[in-house]
Amino acid sequence: MTDDDWVVPEDDYEPFDEWMVIEFSYQIFATRDEAERFAAALHDVIAPIVGSVGRCQTGRIELTSAANGQHDEQHSASRRRRQPGQSLYDVEFAVRGRGDSNWLSHSIFHAVHAARLDWEQMTEGLRQGADLAAALQKYPQLAIGVGEANDHSPSDDDPTVNPPRYL
């Protein structure tokens, strides 16, 4: 069976906006250099997609914790085995903007797959409300305006968050 044989119904429209950050994480078996090359290639692949809905910031490239499978010789999701000299890395980035989060997730997934970037597992999480502050500390370039950069909450006077209304 090929990817073209998959017929999957489209998900419902799931809006996201500037009050949210969507964080993506890829787990990969790699050396440190391979993980950094993966992150650079990943950015090149996702940039046009993210550019259509907002902006992104790359996050950490770090070893996965032992609790999340660092010492496993075979990944539980991909079933691939680690090669000699490889560790399990988390490669992360976050997106902020406006659009359909289902479209964004599917588009990123298919673009990364089409680019033949190998990964063990991809996860995503929506950060909003109380979680938004922590996300903006981790991804400060996604903050909107000076107020949010300092207090990590959307500024009431920021026109990208609260556009002016004209009567």
Domains annotated on the chain, with CATH: 23-144 (3.30.70)
pLDDT at 69: 80
Could you give the CA distance from residue 102 to residue 14 in angstroms, rounded to a whole number? 6
Residue bearing tokens 């999701």: 77
Could you give the CA distance from residue 55 to residue 62 in angstroms, rounded to a whole number? 22
Provide the H-helix boundaries in the chain.
32-51, 101-114, 130-138, 145-151
Q: What does the pLDDT profile of the chain (167 residues) look like in tens digits?
A: 455 555 666 778 899 999 999 999 999 999 999 999 999 999 999 999 999 999 999 999 999 987 778 778 887 778 888 899 999 999 999 999 999 999 999 999 999 999 999 999 999 999 999 899 999 999 999 998 655 555 544 444 443 444 333 22
Could you give the CA distance from residue 102 to residue 32 in angstroms, rounded to a whole number? 31
Could you give the CA distance from residue 53 to residue 104 in angstroms, rounded to a whole number? 8
Residue bearing tokens 């680690």: 82
